[in-house]
Each structure stands twice: as structure tokens, then as C-alpha cells.
Structure 1
């Protein structure tokens, strides 16, 4: 039994330098592995403290590296973005099951606990050399990392054991596995963040290492997440104090009390305070010059500073970017995002996302006088719209390639074929029928955010893209403030209005916020019979008010394609009403289907829409919009669309770990009690 427990909980420390050269990576990697070094022999200098914390960056932040589109795919599986295979685990009942086995995965928390406790003791005894500023910096990183590790557990499981000392896996497992109410876990997270914020430097290592303002912005995210989760999930059994909360009958909770309203307000206040501190210190200074296309061959960068903020190797120069990941081909740390975006990504933005963007006059597309041009082409759908849509989705008239060598090669072939030459290569039409599935557009709305026009960034046979990856930017803190302050007071204060106006102005929207709210019709936004309705129009199955929805829509527009959508939908309890929802893409059957791009070199149409095994497009009788999960009728588990199950708001614990964490080895009596609507049985499906 002890060996099983050890296998579940033990783990090592990942070693990766990431090109963040505050200390020498070469010297560090030449040392003995940390599990072979006694604590008394190591962590005696500030630089040594820094070598510990740097190892956790790839653990706590999204990873842009690998043979895929990286950050440009992080919204896949939501109503914002669709991957080729869909999100069957989240939106089908029989695909996500209680694991038979699997560990708590607390080894990282255990190791950071040990590091913090032993290092703080050494620092108190003045046994660590180095400047106080550098020692504090790295200890601040450690507290930040522990908070992030626990934040991941909070989002995944809700209630979770709080372990602040190194766990003895042979003696302490059952006792240490007692799940604590999620609000107490969240308070511990914020306590660690406060310690981090107190110790961290304002600007450190060109913002490629954790710093004070990044920590403040992240604290605002954490606090807002918990406030809104507790607000919108109340009464479901997922919030401490609910009548059906599974932790209420546990012996260690017998004296637990909670005022649910006070807890929500506490976390809202924390979010407001943290967000305002960073927003007041960091200006929104990188402006959109309203140029929507490069325009000149060879003009890869510099044509729009706002666009470049998402497609530049060096993000230090952008004040809004509070923390970012640096890439460098010299040390073989690069990614493939631009290459994948150039070819199709095997992904795509959805009709629902595209339709949610406002017109530049501040009106929703359905409002009287909006001036909406329709969507028979992607260009028309983008015309006179919020410039975040215009900039960050490829349309038929957008440049795809402005490299002269590539254009010359294309023209050489076109001359052979008797075709006229081109001066630039336009996007023209989505690669909806590419035989290479990895290079196929799924919806027809191809993301352009993070696409660098420099051909050196697009080499597919090797990792060549070294554009920096944004991890935290101040715009999130602005939107966190707007949402938290509105929920706290029921109105928009001057600060919130100022932040919101600045975000809209940069997107080319000059109309007052009140114009947008007045024109927002919740009977349309929350109409579940409208195929492209916004899931965020709901919380706990009920429509929200027009102001709150407008705040959520702004967040959707600002962070489209950046990977925040699923967390937002979960904390808002915005999935209850999702039943047989069909993901849709471009309006294919009105005009786009006539594109010459959809005919092969022999003049044969690539469009097969009969629903058979060889079908390449969804049938016009289903919808004039692309339905990527209704192309083929057989062996297609998502044919009937997405349906959400209540259990899926939180993850289940494995049956084995519930047994191991039970005083009598009976999973039903486990200190690691199962989440609501998940059964206490291996391979069990969601009950509700």
C-alpha cells in the first residue's frame, strides 16, 4: 500500500531555463540533481533561490511550445473556437468518467512548501547571501507559484486540502487529505499572493519573470474567479454552506460557518483593490492606428502597434504586457504559431464569437440602424465592425503572404499555368477542404491574432517562431475591475467607465457605453433557439441584465483567442442552458461555396455534402453556416451538438485516491469526498 501511495504522490522538479537568463542556466544544469542535494548544501544564495522558482514557470503558465498552434488554440472547445475533433469530454455524458486511478498530483505543492519553509528559516538566520531585493524577489516568486498551484486545484476540484508543510506520504496522507471549503482555499491563495506582492519587484528581468504588477493582476483574476463562482453556483452543492454541499457532514467541518454574501463581497473587494492598483500604475498606451492590413510587400511588422503587441519577439516595450514568455532559437526554445495560422490551424473562431462583436458605432449587429452588412463573405462580416474583429480574423481581402521571394515562386508557377501574376498573396478563402487535417480551417473564420508576417517566423519544418507569448496583460485587470465593481455596487463608477471607454476607443468604438447597453436586447442575446447565442448571456440558467452582459461581451471581444473563455464560462455558471448546441462557422452556402479555391486542379468540386463517410461539408439543408460537427452522420458522437452536464463544472477524484484517503479504505467514507453529481465508482459517468 505504501508503494502505491508513493507512486501517486512522488515526483521530481522539471528543469527548464526558458531563456530567462537572470542566472546561468549552464552552471545550474551542471550541478547535481536537486533530489540528490541536501537542503543544507544548497539554496544559500539569492541566485540559488532563483534557480528553484524558474523551474515552475512552465508548470503554472500555459505552454506555447509544441507541434501545434500554441496560444492560438487555447480557446478551443468553447463557444468561441472550434477544433476539428470538438470537446466531447466536456459536452457528452459518456466521454468523461471517474478515473479508476490517479494521484492527487500534489508533489509540486509539496516541494514548494518545503522550499518556502526551509528558505524562510535560513533567511531569518541570515544564512542566505545576496541583496535583500533579490532574496525577496525569488521568495515572492515562490509564494506566487504556490498560489498558482492551489488556484489550479481550486478551479479543478473546488474544495481541496490545504497543505502548507511538506507531506510525509507514509504517515500523513489520510489526515492531510481532508478537503477544506473552497472559500478557505481561496483565502489561502490570496494570502500567498499578498506575500508575493509585498516581496516582488515592480519591473524585474524585463518582465519575463514574475513581478509586482503581474502579481496584482493575477490576484484580481483569482479573487474575481472565486467571487463569481460562489455567487452564481450558490445552491448547487458546489459552494460551502449549500444545503447539499458534500463537505457539510465531515467531522472537521462541524464548526464551519459561512455568510455566503459576505464571502462574495470579500472576494469582490479584493479583486477591485488589486485591479485598481495595477491599472492606475500601468497606462493603456499601445494604440491602434486603425491600419487593418500591412499594405506593402516586405512590411512584416510596424504597420499597426496594437497588432504587433501580439506578434513581436520582444514584448518588453509594450507597457500593457505585465508578464511574458521569451523565445530564442539559439537555445532551441521556439514555437509554430505563425506557421499553423498561415495554414489553417485545424481550428477556427465560431459564428457566435464573430456575431458578438459590436459595430464601430457601438450597436449590436441586430440593432436598428447598426449598418451591419451581412455575412455572405468574411470581409462583409468584418466591415464597419469592432476593429479587434477586423484585425484578428482573416478576410478575403487580407494579406496572407507579403514576402517577395514567396510571391515570385507563386508567380513562376502561375505563368506556367497561364494565369495572371499577383503582387500580394491574399487569404482569399479558408482551407476548409485541405487533406492535411493539421492545416485545415474548421469554421472558415481563421484567427489572425498572433500571426507574424515575417516568413522567418513561419518555417513549418522546424520551430522558428520566436514571438513572445503574453501571459498577463493589464487589460485583464481593467476588465476585472469593471466586472467586480459593477457586481459590488450595481452601477458603473467613474473608474470603471474610464477603463471601459479606453478599451472601446482603441477598438475603434467611439459611441458612449450607454448607447451599447440601451441597444442590447436580452430577449435576443439569451434566445437559446438562436444558433449563435452567447453562452455568457446566462448565469445558472437565467439571463443576466444588459449591463452585465455588455461587460462580459467586452471581455469576450478583448480576449478572443487567448484562452480565458472556458474559465469565464465556468465561474459564471454559464453552461447550464447548453443543450444540443451546434457550433457554426462562416456562411458557406450563400456565396462562399462558389470560390474557385474549392475546385481541384482537374475541375472537380471538393464539396461533398451528402452526410456520408466521404463528406467534406455540412449540408445546406441543415444550415447555410458551416457546421463542423455535422459533416458526417455516421460514427460522429457530436452530431447532435454540445450538451452540458452539471457534474462537469468540477472534476472527479479517482476511485483509488478516494480509497487511499479514507480512514477505513472505503471510498464512501473518504476524507477526499467526491464532487457533487459524480458517482463514487470507477468509470462512473456524470449523474446530472
Structure 2
């Protein structure tokens, strides 16, 4: 046991997992604390403290696991990326309903509160032995974890009860579950983050454990989220101080006051400060050498350092990676994933036409601008030609290598010789698997993501979890973009620091033109044209177009983090979904040329393309558009055939009907301290009102 704990503390083992359960107002009663291990009886040394926070890592961060492509699917359900089944919960009215029962998930917060309070008391009394640096480190992790747990509640519900002590049978649990205004919840989150930042070490355990720079970057995310949410959702009832804010008539809020502008500026200032500190400490050093494809067979890694940053087992060597999850297939059970294996096939996902068209040309111009040099989209290769190199690197085109393993190529050639076909030297991507019988191996849009794909065949074994590439959790590029956005919103202009960060990001992507060139060429009448099928949702906030500079900042963020799972949170905080009505997700231009690919004919000479809209259809009809529409392939029994439409209630989640009753002073949901979020009904199984 000592050796196991020692390895965890040194970062020698991958992050472990502790499942989290949900609770209700009554669930606090008669529960053994901390799974029967009390901080008072166990946590007496620095090493023992370190075993507590590690259990929450897979709860507070996305986890790359399971029989799917994991991290390469985290943008699914947005205008960036499409899964096979679509995002029915968010974009249909009758699929997301008020739960009949279910708690708000306070168990983890309760446990962390108990750990913090009891341990801080023991530290003050001198009852914790060991290195003071380690004691501070692990307490810093605990404050970080509590901030993350509350941040999840803030994003999910908005206003939320704030409890910093362990609740027990002697507490008035109904009283304790009074929702507090979201700005106060956010201020509490930042307070915990400040405590964490003060205690955490700069570079600890090879960055597989929470550290000071990662916490600074995360603080900038949290502060920017709240600033922009309060800015763009103002007047909707989702922001404290609004005339229709549901918390305004609650007795405990009778003395609550807020200056909404000052609150937005406070959070912007917090984001700016935290982002600059980490960006100044960790500049971009991992460069793109502008090589877009592996050069030789067997050259699995090392052909482009920037590409490798997303497909490497050891991310500690990349300064930009501030926090990452380590995997190890030699452990029992194996801690590995299937990302590379699934990306080798279609992975039942795909980037969208909207995302692909939003990438700039290398000359800094949007594809529609005069003189852009855009080559069209009749093939994926042409779509990528002379474009932002993040698009070139991270989307498979027809001429991109798919397999450069000699053993695999030899096996393929053996079969090709039998069939009388010429041999190959490398296996090219050639065409998406749009018609695979195995639905899990299908490409949904034709734009297959290459980000996170490791060419090493050892990472691609499908019979077992074999991919041990590290998972990026936080990287400094986000802090750079947080600074750019927050400082522009705060001052209305781009300062030298923001310009420097932005120029560095663009240069690494192969874009050398001045930022001003891009902004001047950005036509918001095109970007915010809802009749243009591939328009960018982020061209809007609260149903209105944003200015060209702010949109360009958002587009840069979209390009930098494509496929990394930040898109949904961005769209929500920007209130960028109001105008989404009957929006059709689209993929590649299929019907001009791609449909002729020989791989779309089976071994009996029969075309795999059926585009009649019937129950056996495999492709959307040419009469609709030349672009793949994955949710308009079949007309019958297809609830997404008319596209995505957003409902205002869906910006926040509803509380369950039973939970509102349990947390009510008179037992009625209508008078609950957990008052329902706006546009959600106070009834079980109720649908969004608006």
C-alpha cells in the first residue's frame, strides 16, 4: 500500500476514479462520512492528504474512456461536430423534460467540505506531519476540486445553494438549500480558486496533478464564463437583477442588490489577471513545422511537434500542456483508451461543414473574401488547400496517410496481388466510410477528425484498450484566448498583449497576415446570415450579430479548440443559440464529385448509395443539397429531419419535481427554495415553455 500511495503522489500512476452519486435534501441524513473514512481519524500526514483529492479527478474533468473515440467526440452535438444520432435533447422540445425525481448532487461537495474543514483545523493545531509544501499542495487541490464541483453546478443550474460546511441531521436542510444568486456562487468559486492558487506548486508531479499554472488557466475560464454569461443573458431572467429573475421575490434575497455592469467587469478583470499570469509564465514553444503528413513508412511520430502534442503518451514534455491525464496499458485493469483505433474508422462522428468553412485561408482571409484563393470543396483535399494549417493537420483528406505501418501494408498488398490490383507503398485515407455496415465505424459527415490520431499501430489495436496517448485537460492556449476575449470586452480594443498572443497562435497555424487584415475582410452580413446553411452560431449573441473583431476572436477560438470539447460551453455563455431554428447540420460536398469514389460500390458492383429518403436510404438526396445532411437521410421515424431548433429553457437545466418538493418549506414545489429555472414548468415531465 505504501508503494502505491508513493507512486500516486509522485505522479507515477494514471489518475484514479471515484464514482459520484447524487443526493436529495433528505439524503444527507444517516450517511457515513466520506465512505466511512473520516478526515479526523485518517488524514494525519502529508502523504495521506494526497490520497483524498486524486479520487475526484475523473469526476471534475472529462474522461477519455469506453468503447468509443472518447476525447475525439467531445464536440458532438454542436455546430462543430455531429454524432450519428444527433443532439435531440438540446434541439427538440419534447425530448428534455423536468425529471420526476433526482437530486442535485451534493455528496461530493459535502465530502470535500468535510475534508477541508477538518484538515484545516488539524493543520492549525499542528496535527498534520510531513512536508509543508506537500500539505499546501494537497489542500490546494481540495480547494480547486470544490471550485470545480460548484462550477459544474453553476453551469448546470445557475443560481445554486452555497454550503461550505458539512450538513448533518441537526441542520435545517430545507433552509440550507436556498438557491443563491449565480454571481455570488461564481464569486465563491473564484475565492476557492484563489486559495488553491496560493497553495499549489508551479510544476508538480509532471503536471498530471493539479498545479498553480493549471489553476490560473482554469480560473480565467471560470471568470470569463460568468462574465460573458451575465453580459449576454441579461434581461432573460437567467441573470440576478433581471426584472423576471425567479429569485427576486424570495425572502432571503430581499436585501440583495447588484450592479450588473460592475459584476461583468469584475469577472472580466479576474479573467484578465489570471490569464496573463499563466500566459507570461508559459509562452508557446511547441511549434508547427508545417509538415502536414508523415514522410516515410514507420515514421509514426516526430514528423510534426504540434501534431504530436495531441497524440503522444507523454505530454509532460510539452510546456503548453498545463494539466493532462496519463494512461498506462500495463496496469490491471488497463488504463488506456481506443481513440486512435476508432479514428482509424469513422467513429460514428464527424466535423461539420460549418466548422470547416470557418477556418481562414493562410493569407488570413475568410474563404468568401475577394482574393482569398479558396479552391472550392469538391474534394476534402481541395477544401484544405492553402487553409489554416490546423484544418490541414487535423482533418483527413483523400491524400492523407491513414496507415504507414509496414506489416499492415504487406498484408494489404498480399490481398491486392490476389485480386490483381497494384500494390501500395502507403495506405491513404482516400474516402470516408460513409456506408459502413458497422454503425460505430461510420463517418457521419465525411470530415473525419485527425486530431488525437496516433499513427503508431500499437495504439490502434481494436481488440483491447491499447491507446495510451495522454489526454490534454488544460493548455495555455486557452488562457491566451481567454485574455484576448476578456480584454477586448473590457476595453473595446485589442491591447499589445492580446495582439501578441493572437499573432503567435496565428503564426503557428501558418497565418502570417496581420490580424487587421482578417477583421477588415470579415463580412458580418455573410457570417450572420441565418439563411446560409453553414453559418457560424457564434456570430450571434442573444439573437443579434456581434461585431467583426469579437467574431474574429470567437472564430480563432473555434479553430484552435476544434474537436476538444469547449464549443458547447462557449455557445451557452455567449447566448449564441437563440437564432438556431431548423438548422441543418451538413458535411462534405458529396454530390459534385465525391459520390463517384469506387469505394462506394460493393464487391458485387452494386452502389452503396441509396438517396431516396426511404427506410433503407444511406445518403441525403441530391435534390436537398449537394452537401451531406446526416439527419435528412431518411424521412420516416426521424425526429431530427427538420433540423435543430433551440428552446430558451435549455440554457439551464431544470430541477426535478420531487427535489423541489423536498426542499420546500411547505412541501410544495411551487414554493420551493430550489425555485425552478425560467421557462421550465413546475411539473414532472414538463417540456420547455419557450
Q: Distance in 1 between matches of 2:12 and 2:230?
A: 44
Residue 188 (structure 1) aligned with residue 176 (structure 2): no
Aligned to 1:323, what secondary structure does the other structure show? Answer: strand
| Cα drift, residue 611 of structure 1 | 0.4
2:302 is matched with 302
Residue 556 (structure 1) aligned with residue 558 (structure 2): yes
1:326 is matched with 326
Aligned to 1:329, what secondary structure does the other structure show? Answer: coil
| Cα drift, residue 168 of structure 1 | 1.7
Q: Distance in 1 between matches of 2:344 and 2:210?
A: 32
Q: Distance in 1 between matches of 2:182 and 2:40?
A: 36
For the 8 Å contact 1:20–1:208, the answer to whether it is kept is no
1:513-555 alpha-carbon deviations (Å, 9 max, x no partner):
0000000000000000000000000000000000000000000
| Cα drift, residue 35 of structure 1 | 2.6
| Cα drift, residue 24 of structure 1 | 9.2
Aligned positions of 1:111-260 closer than 5 A: 111-168=111-168, 171-260=171-260
| Cα drift, residue 63 of structure 1 | 0.5
2:587 is matched with 585
Measured on the aligned residues, the alpha-carbon RMSD in Å equals: 1.6
1:164-195 alpha-carbon deviations (Å, 9 max, x no partner):
00012574320111000000000000000000
Aligned to 1:102, what secondary structure does the other structure show? Answer: coil
1:55 is matched with 55
Aligned to 1:118, what secondary structure does the other structure show? Answer: helix
For the 8 Å contact 2:9–2:50, the answer to whether it is kept is no
1:67-100 alpha-carbon deviations (Å, 9 max, x no partner):
1111100000000000000000000000000000
1:624 is matched with 626
Q: Give 5+ residue unaligned stretches, structure 2.
A: 18-31
Aligned to 2:323, what secondary structure does the other structure show? Answer: strand
| Cα drift, residue 352 of structure 1 | 0.1
Aligned positions of 1:227-626 closer than 5 A: 227-331=227-331, 332-626=334-628
**Would the alpha carbon gap of residues 125 and 170 (structure 1) be closer, same or farther in structure 2, given more than 3 Å must change?**
closer
1:457-480 alpha-carbon deviations (Å, 9 max, x no partner):
001110000000000000000000
| Cα drift, residue 39 of structure 1 | 3.3
1:193-212 alpha-carbon deviations (Å, 9 max, x no partner):
00000000000000000000
For the 8 Å contact 1:74–1:561, the answer to whether it is kept is yes
For the 8 Å contact 1:629–1:639, the answer to whether it is kept is yes
Q: TM-score, with normalisation over the residues of structure 1? A: 0.96
| Cα drift, residue 20 of structure 1 | 4.3
| Cα drift, residue 22 of structure 1 | 2.7
For the 8 Å contact 2:367–2:374, the answer to whether it is kept is yes
2:680 to 666, 678, 681: 678
| Cα drift, residue 21 of structure 1 | 5.0
Aligned to 2:52, what secondary structure does the other structure show? Answer: helix
Aligned to 1:227, what secondary structure does the other structure show? Answer: helix
**Would the alpha carbon gap of residues 18 and 61 (structure 1) be closer, same or farther in structure 2, given more than 3 Å must change?**
farther
Q: Distance in 1 between matches of 2:66 and 2:547?
A: 41
Aligned to 1:577, what secondary structure does the other structure show? Answer: coil
1:8-32 alpha-carbon deviations (Å, 9 max, x no partner):
xxxxxxxx99984538989x99xx9
Q: Distance in 1 between matches of 2:5 and 2:680?
A: 40
Residue 22 (structure 1) aligned with residue 10 (structure 2): yes
Q: Distance in 1 between matches of 2:677 and 2:473?
A: 30
| Cα drift, residue 413 of structure 1 | 0.4
| Cα drift, residue 429 of structure 1 | 0.1
Q: Distance in 1 between matches of 2:532 and 2:170?
A: 56
2:35 is matched with 35
Q: Distance in 1 between matches of 2:507 and 2:525?
A: 27
Aligned residues: 670
Aligned to 2:473, what secondary structure does the other structure show? Answer: strand
Q: Distance in 1 between matches of 2:657 and 2:376?
A: 52
Q: Distance in 1 between matches of 2:8 and 2:270?
A: 31
Aligned to 1:330, what secondary structure does the other structure show? Answer: coil
| Cα drift, residue 41 of structure 1 | 2.2
For the 8 Å contact 1:17–1:55, the answer to whether it is kept is no
Aligned to 2:57, what secondary structure does the other structure show? Answer: helix
For the 8 Å contact 2:311–2:470, the answer to whether it is kept is yes
1:70 is matched with 70
2:21 is matched with none
1:236-279 alpha-carbon deviations (Å, 9 max, x no partner):
00000000000000000000000000000000000000000000
For the 8 Å contact 2:348–2:444, the answer to whether it is kept is yes
For the 8 Å contact 1:18–1:333, the answer to whether it is kept is no
1:483-504 alpha-carbon deviations (Å, 9 max, x no partner):
0000000000000000000000
Q: Distance in 2 between matches of 1:25 and 1:599?
A: 48
For the 8 Å contact 1:100–1:654, the answer to whether it is kept is yes
Q: Give 5+ residue unaligned stretches, structure 1.
A: 1-15
| Cα drift, residue 33 of structure 1 | 11
| Cα drift, residue 151 of structure 1 | 0.2
| Cα drift, residue 356 of structure 1 | 0.1
Aligned to 2:382, what secondary structure does the other structure show? Answer: helix
1:44 is matched with 44
For the 8 Å contact 1:223–1:268, the answer to whether it is kept is yes
| Cα drift, residue 295 of structure 1 | 1.7
For the 8 Å contact 1:19–1:328, the answer to whether it is kept is no
Q: Distance in 2 between matches of 1:658 and 1:647?
A: 17
**Would the alpha carbon gap of residues 23 and 324 (structure 1) be closer, same or farther in structure 2, given more than 3 Å must change?**
closer
Q: TM-score, with normalisation over the residues of structure 2? A: 0.96
For the 8 Å contact 1:228–1:572, the answer to whether it is kept is yes
For the 8 Å contact 2:39–2:119, the answer to whether it is kept is no
For the 8 Å contact 2:389–2:509, the answer to whether it is kept is yes
For the 8 Å contact 1:19–1:326, the answer to whether it is kept is no
| Cα drift, residue 283 of structure 1 | 1.1
1:110-166 alpha-carbon deviations (Å, 9 max, x no partner):
000000000000000010011110000000000000000000000000000000000
**Would the alpha carbon gap of residues 519 and 609 (structure 1) be closer, same or farther in structure 2, given more than 3 Å must change?**
same
For the 8 Å contact 2:65–2:338, the answer to whether it is kept is yes
